[in-house]
């Protein structure tokens, strides 16, 4: 049996082995319920957050007139076809 610790601020410290076994991460929400046997913690369904590093890699790439240049290129292609 493993034990958890309660801090002065009321935070519950759960052992790493239990966190890993239950696939819990920092920020995970837990439902807490008082039962006849004691306190029951249940992990709420966790929605995976998008990988922001992939999004950040493209952030700002559309700035600097890219759309205007694309439209001008398209117009030039149409004029050459005509």
SS3 state of residue 78:
helix
How far apart are alpha carbons 67 and 79 in whole angstroms? Answer: 18
Task: Output the pLDDT for position 22.
Answer: 86
Give the whole-angstrom CA distance, residue 40 versus residue 28.
16
pLDDT band at 35 (very low <50, low <70, confident <90, very high): very high
pLDDT score of 50 = 61
Q: Residues 52-79: pLDDT tens digits?
A: 677 677 766 666 677 788 888 889 988 8
Distance of CA 22 to the CA centre of its chain: 18
pLDDT of amino acid 51: 66
Record the pTM: 0.49
């Amino acid at each position: 049996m493993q034990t958890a610790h309660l801090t002065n601020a009321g935070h519950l410290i759960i052992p790493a082995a239990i966190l890993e076994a239950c696939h819990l991460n920092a920020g995970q929400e837990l439902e807490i319920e008082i039962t006849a046997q004691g306190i029951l913690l249940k992990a709420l369904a966790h929605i995976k957050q998008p990988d922001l590093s992939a999004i950040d890699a493209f952030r700002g790439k559309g700035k600097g007139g890219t759309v205007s240049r694309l439209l001008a290129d398209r117009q030039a292609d149409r004029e050459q076809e005509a």
